[in-house]
Amino acid sequence: MTYSLRINGEDRAVQDATISESLLFVLRERLGLPGTKGACEQGECGSCTVVMDGEAVCSCLVLAAGAVGADIRTVESISPPGEYNAVQEAFITEGGVQCGFCTPGLVVAVQHLLDRTHDPSDLEIKEAISGNICRCTGYGRVFAAVRAARDARRAGAS
């Protein structure tokens, strides 16, 4: 089957696809957007997080053919190559990256949190990323990164 998805503001044709394919599979294997990662296929780990019509979702649980008409934003939309937004910069400088496999999903989830919550508390941060499993960092440097991004914005706003 052939259909079109709206990814990062562009209409992208998906050709000769099987109807059972997940949004994660289509992004990675058909549309050349491998930034979104797959690690559990059950919506448990958050590595495949994308924003769909303003909601953070696990793209492994979304049927791609069912996402026609939705506005889908992936990690590739957050910054152009070689440039980092505040969240990405904070992950780099605060040590939030080790193996990096969970990182794209975390970056999308954190950006989504900061987009909808002006000044999240530490506990709100913990809860917001509790669907993103990181096996390397133990979350300490991830929290530090999110707090740094939050505090930078707070300082910028004042």
Partner 1 sequence: MSTATRTDAPPRAGTLGDSARRPDAGPKVQGRFSFSSDAWATNMLWGATLRSTHAHARIVSIDVSAALAINGVSCVLTADDVPGKPTYGLIDADQPVFARDVVRYVGEPLAAVAADHPETCLRALEAIRVEYEPLAPLTDVMRAVDPATPAIHPRGNVLRHQRIRRGDPTATGPIVVEGTYEIGMQDQAFLGLEAALALPDDDGAGLELYVATQWLHEDRKQIAECLGIEPERVRLTLGGVGGAFGAREDISLQVHCSLLCLRTRRPIKMQYGREESFLGHVHRHPARIWMRHHAERDGTIVKVEAKFWLDGGAYASTSAAVLINAITHAQGPYRCEHAVVDGWALRTNNPPCGAMRGFGVVQACFAHESQMDRIAAAAGLDPVEVRLRNAMRTGDRLITGQVIDSVAPVERCIRETAEIPLPPPLPDRPDPLELPGGSGLAAEPSRVRRGVGWGVSIKNLMYSEGFDDSSTARVQLSGGIATLEFATAEVGQGFLVLAQQIARSVLGVDQVVLAPIRTYVGSAGSTSASRQTWMSGGAVDGACRIARERLFEAVGEEHGIDPIRLAIEGTDVVDTAGTLRVPVADATAGRTFFGDFEHHHRPTTELDADGQGDCHVAFAFVAHRAVVDVDLDLGLVKVVQVATAQDVGRVLNPLAAIGQLEGGIAQGLGLAVMEEIVLQDGRMRNPTFTDYLLPTSLDAPEVVARFVEEPEPMAPLGAKGIGEPPCISVTPAIVAAIRAASGRDLVRVPVRPQDVCLSGPALAPSSGC
CA distance 35 to 85: 16
Q: Which is nearer to partner 1, 3 or 8 (CB)?
A: 8
Q: Does 14 bind partner 1 (CB under 8 A)?
A: no
Q: Which of residues 90-109 bind partner 1 (CB under 8 A)?
A: 91-95, 97-104, 107
Q: Which stretch binds partner 1 (CB under 8 A): 3-11, 63-71, 119-127, 150-158?
A: 119-127
User: Closest approach of Cβ 156 to partner 1, in Å?
Assistant: 20
Contacts of 36 by beta carbon, 8 Å cutoff, 6+ apart: 24, 27, 28, 47, 48, 49, 50, 59, 74, 75, 104, 105
Q: Which is nearer to partner 1, 83 or 158 (CB)?
A: 83
Distant-in-sequence contacts of 149-155, Cβ < 8 A, 24+ apart: 149/86, 149/87, 149/89, 149/90, 149/110, 149/114, 150/114, 150/119, 150/120, 150/125, 152/86, 152/90, 153/86, 153/114, 154/119
Per-residue binding letters, 37-66, with partner 1 (x by CB under 8 A): xxxxxx-xx-x-------------------
User: Closest approach of Cβ 157 to partner 1, in Å?
Assistant: 23
Name the site residues for partner 1 (rule: CB under 8 A). Answer: 18, 20, 28, 34-42, 44-45, 47, 74-76, 78-79, 81-82, 84, 87-88, 91-95, 97-104, 107, 123, 125-127, 129-144
